[in-house]
Chains A and B, each alone.
Chain A
Amino acid sequence: MSTDEIVQRVSLIVGAGQVGAPTGRAADAVKILSKPGDAAELAEVVRACETDRIALAPLGAARTLSQIRSLPVALGVSLGRLARVVAYEPKDLTITVEAGLSVGELNRALAPARQRLPVDPCDPDATTVGALIAASHAGPLRLSEGTTRDLLIGIRYVGHQGHSVHGGGRVVKNVAGYDLMKVLGGSFGTLGIITEATFKVRPLPEQYAMTRLSFDRAEKLFAAARELHDSLPLAHLEGLSSAAAYACGSPARFLLVAGISGSSSEVASLRDATARAAPGAVFVERGDALHAYARLRDFDASAWALTAQIAVAPAQLSSILAATDAQYLAHMGCGVATLFLPEPPADGRITIDGWRQAARRAGGYLRILHAHRSFRGSVEFFDMPNDGALKLMRRLKAAFDPAGVFNPGCFVGGI
């Protein structure tokens, strides 16, 4: 089907004003962008795509897909018009929202009751709830609050044949049926289009403060990180090499940033304990701390020539960081780090293979977040699962997307 034919076909469903040429990052990811007005229209779009074998990609801010794919997919689906808060009862500490809502908006809805969804994607106002779930994102607070997968308790998505399917519910504890939240979470839009989500939310801590420690040697950074992680319950704990530290506004060869939060007496006690455990710690408080935290959260992987996320058994992280030439921003204690190179490497493939092997040896894996255009086409963005798991993943894709229209070819092993 030609682009014009697709536009015509989809216009009949969503209205002519809601189909058109994509702009910005989306232009790298899809040829046409459509904006269904509700789940029923979305279902019809999916059915039409299945009938005519039109590949379609759900989109948030399109930061990910524009990286992964060399050729744009035919039809992009934006959920920009599905962006309501569906239900929120502060005393239940749960919220149900449509998937097109931004994470920033979601948190603004929670703020009056002093609650929050403690996952923080970079640029929360650009990141949609659907993309957050599909990309299974987690920021620095994962150390204390867990990740999106821990907080998602209900989901609704449009799957094959345009069926609207739901799993989980609106209560914090629920084991009725299979866990569709986990299956759709981190599926990168390859199994269906998420339209609604319910999260457990958490109270906003009374106070937040940040501790910064500068070091001239990486080993000292790792030792201090270990000491703090072992002795204190921290909100987050990040290890930064020079380029990351600079990007986050504090020049240092190596920087350790620890977050402490809680009631005022808890923060005071943590402050004392931190000062004892890590002499030389500099404290940043109140508005300054929140501002500094936002810079850490918004650390932008796409500013660099090559950026990857590595996840390993936590205690193995420091030896990997010590052995690499890469710059990093590492979630110490979680075993998850962003590695990056400011300049394109001589051979991107060799660099990535090296990182990937190191990750595997430490029991983990590697995922590319951003690669310079010059070698983007030649690298695998996702690490390969083992054969047994991959076989099950292929079966899952075939069962949930028999027509092969949801984001084809962009996930592990070419799924």
Chain B
Amino acid sequence: MSHNAQATGLDPTLVAELAAIAGSDGIVSRSAELKVYECDGWTIEKCSPDLLVMPRTTEQVSAVLKALWRREVAFVPRGAGTGLSGGALPVNAPVMICTSKMNRILSIDLANRRVEVQSGVVNLHVTNAVKRDRFLYAPDPSSQQACTIGGNIAENSGGPHTLKYGVTTNHVLGVTLVLADGEIVELGGPAEERCGYDLLGAVVGAEGTAGIVTRAVLKIIREPEGHRTLLATFADVEAATHAVSAIMASGIVPSAIEMMDQLIIRAVEDAFHVGLPAEAGAVLIIELDGLVAGLDEHAARVTEIACHNGASGVRLARDETERAGLWKARKRAFGAVGRLAPNYATQDGVVPRTRLPDILRTIQVISRKYGLAIGNVFHAGDGNIHPIVLYDERKPEEVRKAIAAGREILIACVEMGGSLTGEHGIGVEKQGEMPLLFSPEDLIAMSELRHVFDPLERSNPNKVIPRPGSCVEVAAPHRQVPI
């Protein structure tokens, strides 16, 4: 069934009106070109929009949304499309509004440590713009070379360094939000305190259901004086995860603790030859940053704790090149996995840090049960796991198994006191699982909150909150293979 049945044949006068607003190069209507937008990083489900609009300014976004509002047409915002939960999938939303032409850094204010950007600016470009002055933008998703600030705000994205520095919501001070009816609202601002309810806090993580963010005021921070980056090698993931808890309990707050298991280590080593110990059962990349004065002492403590917890070796990156090599290995791990199987699905569960050994054991059991290889590369310091389930989409049975295995892992996370998602969001992928975590009362309150911004659900409809009755349809729009 087509999910955009209501839109088949978008009114030509609407298309003309939108083209007049966004310019003829700001619009894509040919179905072959629209195919590019049929999914994001969550490739299991696909459906194309009927029309893509790429506005350049807040005013254009407002005019576009007003035109859609008058005709009762729903839309989906899209940044770079790196989302891993199908958030930018145009389910029941004929028009996709992409921020790719809204990519200007509007101002840099070093005295106030603020940067003001259009929402289509790529995450890494913010840091690049202030690097010379020794500042950086702290949230650093592994997709930071591509993903946009608007997408980061919608997903409340994190990254390796959020262990110490926090996630997106801790670094956004203000936004311009265009509501579904086209009204432009300013929330927050350059000050650190809010006036009235923290609506900005609600927009962050709303997964595009509150309207379109067109501009953001971000906090930047001073680059730390120094770093120490360690690679600790373990015989198995169990020992490595115990080491994580022990480090966290020691009173030292590393800026990142990332784990890779055997399968990932091999894939990365084969792809990039960065010198990871190919035989190891697991490695931890541990980064410490801050004043140079304390770093060697902390690095020695962490080394001692790791060895005490079974590390067979701890290597300190000797220089910036070695450090960059380790981070390159980590950040490209997903890409390296692509060499192991035709397809993979990245899961995103969270457990309390102390339950990491339990969840990794459970993942092994699930892997054996379904006969699918599952690799693990994740933000261990946060308890945020990313099991990567390998499968072959040409085999419908494997697709079914991959989905079932992912679901079982998430259920286990919730049972261990964790969550369904630490950074990728609910999107379409995990709507069905929301009741595992939230009661009907919780979900009603969340719906009410969403309706404060978008009472008619025109902005990214049918997302996040499962709908009673229509759940199945929402959770499985146009799967690429029948399941």
CB closest chain-B residue, reference A415 = B196
Docked-complex contact B350 and A309, CB < 8 angstroms:
no
**Of A93, A167, A186, A268, which is within 8 A of B194 by CB?**
A186
A150–B172 Cα distance when bound, in Å, is 11
Measured in the bound complex, the distance between the Cα atoms of B350 and A206 in whole Å is: 30
Contact, CB under 8 Å: B452 / A396: yes
**Minimum CB–CB distance for B102 against chain A, Å:** 20
Q: Chain A residues near B248 (CB, 8 Å)?
A: 91-93
Digitize B196-229: 1 where CB-to-A-CB distance is under 8 Å, 0 elsewhere: 1111111011100000000000000010110000
The listed residue with most B CB atoms (<10 A of its CB), out of A174, A176, A367, A395, is A176
**Nearest Cβ distance between residue B308 and chain A, in whole angstroms?**
15
Residues on the A chain within 8 Å of B222, using CB? 233
Of A203, A335, A399, A415, which is within 8 A of B448 by CB?
Answer: A399
Interfacial chain A residues near B186, Cβ < 8 Å: 386, 388-389
Of the listed stretches A3-11, A19-27, A63-71, A157-165, name the one at the interface; the rest are far from the partner chain: A157-165
Docked complex Cα distance between A166 and B184 (Å): 30
Flag whether A185 is at the interface (Cβ < 8 A): yes
Taking the closest CB of chain B, its distance from the CB of A382, in whole angstroms, is 7
Interface stretch among A100-108, A241-249, A259-267?
A259-267
Q: Beyond A180-B446, A315-B111, is A90–B249 a contact (Cβ under 8 Å)?
A: yes
How many chain B residues have a CB neighbour from A under 8 Å? 91
Query: Given that A171-B352, A179-B169, A393-B197 are known contacts, is A388 also in contact with B183, CB under 8 Å in the complex?
Result: yes
The residue of chain A having its C-beta at the shortest distance from the C-beta of B249 within the complex is A91
- B contact residues around A187 at 8 Å (CB): 197
A314–B383 alpha-carbon span in the complex (Å) = 34
Instruction: Tell whether B449 is near chain A: CB-to-CB under 8 Å.
Output: yes
Q: How far is the CB of B215 from chain A (nearest CB, A)?
A: 14
Whether A173 contacts B193 in the complex (CB less than 8 A), given A185-B201, A389-B185, comes out as no
Chain B CB within 10 Å, residue with most, of A172, A179, A365, A367:
A172
Closest to B242 in A: A91
- CB atoms of B199 and A263 under 8 A apart: no
**CB-based contact A175/B421 at 8 Å:** yes
Q: Tell me the residues in window 331-380 of chain A with beta carbons closer than 8 Å to chain B beta carbons.
A: 334-336, 363-365, 367
Query: In the complex, are the beta carbons of A311 and B291 less than 8 A apart?
Result: no
Contact A313 B114, beta carbon cutoff 8 Å: yes
B184 and A388: CB pair below 8 A?
A: yes
A183 touches B201 (CB 8 A): yes
Q: CB-defined interface of B107-134 with A at 8 Å, one 1/0 digit per residue?
A: 0010111100000000000000000000
- 9 pairs from A and B in contact (CB 8 Å cutoff): A91-B354, A93-B353, A163-B445, A173-B382, A175-B422, A263-B298, A265-B297, A389-B199, A392-B452
Residue of B166, B197, B437, B448 touching A150 (CB-CB under 8 A): B166
Given A92-B354, A388-B184, answer yes or no on A266-B290 (Cβ-Cβ < 8 Å). Answer: yes
User: With contacts A335-B192, A382-B195, A385-B196 known, is A314 near B291, CB below 8 A?
Assistant: no
User: Which B residues touch A385, using CB under 8 A?
Assistant: 195-196
Closest A residue, CB atoms, query B201: A182
Q: Which residues of A come within 8 Å of B, CB atoms?
A: 89-94, 113-114, 136, 142, 146-147, 149-150, 159, 163-167, 169-183, 185-187, 191, 202-204, 206, 233, 262-263, 265-266, 268-270, 309, 311-316, 334-336, 363-365, 367, 382-386, 388-390, 392-393, 395-396, 399-400, 411-413, 415
Contacts of A268 in B (CB 8 A): 293
Q: Given known contacts A169-B418, A171-B418, A187-B197, is B464 in contact with A178 (CB within 8 Å)?
A: yes
Knowing A233-B291, A266-B294, the reply to whether A173 touches B449 (Cβ < 8 A) is no
Q: Mask for B345-358, Cβ within 8 A of A = 1, else 0?
A: 00000111110000
Contact of B449 among A93, A170, A311, A396 (CB under 8 A): A396
Residue of A nearest to B206 (CB): A178
Q: Are B170 and A180 in contact (CB under 8 A)?
A: no
List, in ascending order, chain B residues with CB within 8 A of A89's CB.
352, 354
B185 surroundings in chain A (CB, below 8 A): 386, 388-389, 392
Chain B residues with CB under 8 Å of A311's CB are 191-193
CB atoms of A390 and B198 under 8 A apart: no
Residues of B within 8 A of A185 (CB): 198, 201
- Asked if A175 and B197 sit within 8 Å, CB to CB, the answer is no
Lowest 3 A-B CB distances belong to which pairs? A182-B201, A269-B293, A388-B185
Instruction: Please report the C-alpha to C-alpha distance between residue A382 and residue B194 in the assembled complex, in whole angstroms.
Output: 11
Minimum CB distance partner of A159 in chain B: B445
- B247 nearest in chain A by CB position: A91
Q: Which residue of B lies closest to A89 (CB)?
A: B354
Cβ-based interface call for B103 (8 A): no
* Nearest-neighbor residue (CB-CB) of B382 within chain A: A173
Residue ID in chain B nearest A166 by CB atoms: B442
In the complex formed, the residue of B with least CB distance to A269 is B293
Q: Is B450 an interface residue (CB 8 A)?
A: yes
Task: Provide the bound-state CA to CA distance between A191 and B202, in Å.
Answer: 14
Note all chain B residues with C-beta closer than 8 A to A93: 248-249, 353
Given known contacts A175-B424, A182-B198, what 19 new A-B pairs fall within 8 Å (CB)? A91-B246, A92-B352, A92-B383, A147-B192, A149-B201, A173-B158, A175-B155, A175-B419, A177-B446, A178-B202, A178-B450, A182-B169, A191-B197, A233-B225, A269-B291, A335-B190, A385-B195, A389-B187, A400-B445
Shortest CB-to-CB span from A83 to chain B, Å, is 22
B252 near A: Cβ within 8 Å?
yes
Taken together as a complex, chains A and B put the C-alpha atoms of A374 and B403 apart, in Å, by: 67
Q: Which partner residue on chain B sits nearest A167 by CB separation?
A: B442
CB <8 Å contact, B419 and A203 = no
Q: How far is the CB of B116 from chain A (nearest CB, A)?
A: 11
Asked if A183 and B291 make an inter-chain contact with CB atoms under 8 angstroms apart, the answer reads no
Residue pair A175, B156 in contact (C-beta under 8 Å)? yes
A residues near B111, Cβ cutoff 8 Å = 314-315
Report the bound CA distance from A47 to B195 in whole Å.
Answer: 30
Complex CA–CA separation, A118 to B418 (angstroms): 24
Asked if B67 is an interface residue, CB under 8 A from chain A, the answer is: no
Question: Which chain B residues (365-416) contact chain A, with CB distance < 8 Å?
Answer: 379, 382-384
Q: Does B41 make an interface contact (CB < 8 A)?
A: no
A163 touches B441 (CB 8 A): yes
What is the CA–CA distance of A311 and B196 in the complex, to the nearest angstrom? Answer: 13
Tell me, in angstroms, the Cα distance from A91 to B351 when the chains sit together: 13
Q: Does B245 contact A (CB under 8 A)?
A: yes
